[in-house]
Amino acid sequence: MKDIATPIRTRAILEKHGFSFKKSLGQNFLIDTNILHRIVDHAEVTEETAAIEIGPGIGALTEQLAKRAKKVVAFEIDGRLLPILADTLSPYPNVEIVHEDVLKADVESVIHEKMQGIDDIMVVANLPYYVTTPIIMKLLTENLPLRGIVVMLQKEVADRISAAPGTKDYGSLSIAIQYYTTAETVMTVPKTVFVPQPNVDSAVIRLLKRKKPAVKVENETFFFEVVRASFGQRRKTILNNLTSNLPNGKAFKEAIERCLAASDIDPRRRGETLSIEEFGRLSDELYRTFNEGPAEK
């Protein structure tokens, strides 16, 4: 039997089951086996690995994972695909499909129930573009026992996730994900290898979980609040953004200036030039100051 991810086999499967694509679910199926092999390579999947897939479609990537992994669990939201997956993946007893929206699922319970005794767990997926960021952030903030995440997503989002300070793509998303992981774009994927063709090119990003966050901060929630505030308007200075976007920022303006000086950060810099370590120092200074209240005039 030919691999699922060939133009002829994909077309035959879709025709056999009378399947029509739902634009609202961001369904684009890969028809290039070589790219799938490379994705699985980048995830370093072995016979000791359990793979979590999100949005398996008709099973093209699932099949390649099943050939190498000990166990594959795939979350599929579209009930119309369940009989197709039962058909295409019938040769692989190590695959299990969970008919659930991963954003609403208790992923930790699924891991505990279906991956017992497996220490190496990777998320490997071709993510629906419209929910890429919420899915990645859910997987990271729930502190799941993952080695990492290797996913295909819109190239523009991959560029933002893996961006370095001082570049145009660097922003609050870069920091949020690099706080939990080391992020690297490992390959780009042209739109021509999908059915139907998306409007944009894709990229595969590899996120390997850090043993502990990139910086130690006094209050994680406040740290992310400071980061978001710093990128409120990219052309504004860090001082103006913090004053405008932090709660009661205007009342704390002088205190914010003192915190920037204490953190050795020029108030005229823009947020995009600050490293994650600088944001960590600054957020700790601000956290202590904001909890003391604004200075008396």
Please give the residue that has the higher pLDDT: either 179 or 23: 179
Mean predicted confidence (pLDDT) in 18-25? 78
What's the topology of domain 220-292?
Helicase, Ruva Protein; domain 3 (1.10.8)
User: At the fourth CATH level, which superfamily is domain 7-209?
Assistant: Vaccinia Virus protein VP39 (3.40.50.150)
- Give the model's confidence band at 296: pLDDT under 50 very low, under 70 low, under 90 confident, else very high: very low
Would you state the pLDDT for residue 199? 85
DSSP state letters, 89-123: TTT-TTEEEE-S-TTTS-HHHHHHHH-TT--EEEE
pTM to 2 decimal places: 0.92
Please give the mean pLDDT across all residues of the chain.
93
Q: Over 90: is that where the pLDDT of 222 sits?
A: yes
Is residue 76 part of an annotated ligand binding site? Answer: yes
Is residue 219 part of an annotated ligand binding site? Answer: no
Is residue 245 part of an annotated ligand binding site? Answer: no
DSSP state letters, 30-91: E--HHHHHHHHHHTT--TTEEEEEE--TTTHHHHHHHHH-SEEEEE---GGGHHHHHHHTTT
Please give the residue that has the higher pLDDT: either 51 or 22: 51
Is residue 14 part of an annotated ligand binding site? Answer: no
Would you state the pLDDT for residue 297? 39
Question: Which tokens belong to 106?
Answer: 């208790």
Give pLDDT tens digits for 160-208: 999 999 999 999 999 999 999 999 999 999 999 998 888 889 999 999 9
Q: Over 90: is that where the pLDDT of 270 sits?
A: yes
Domain spans, the chain: 7-209, 220-292
Is residue 120 part of an annotated ligand binding site? Answer: no
Compute the chain's Rg from CA coordinates.
22
Is residue 232 part of an annotated ligand binding site? Answer: no
Mean predicted confidence (pLDDT) in 232-247? 93
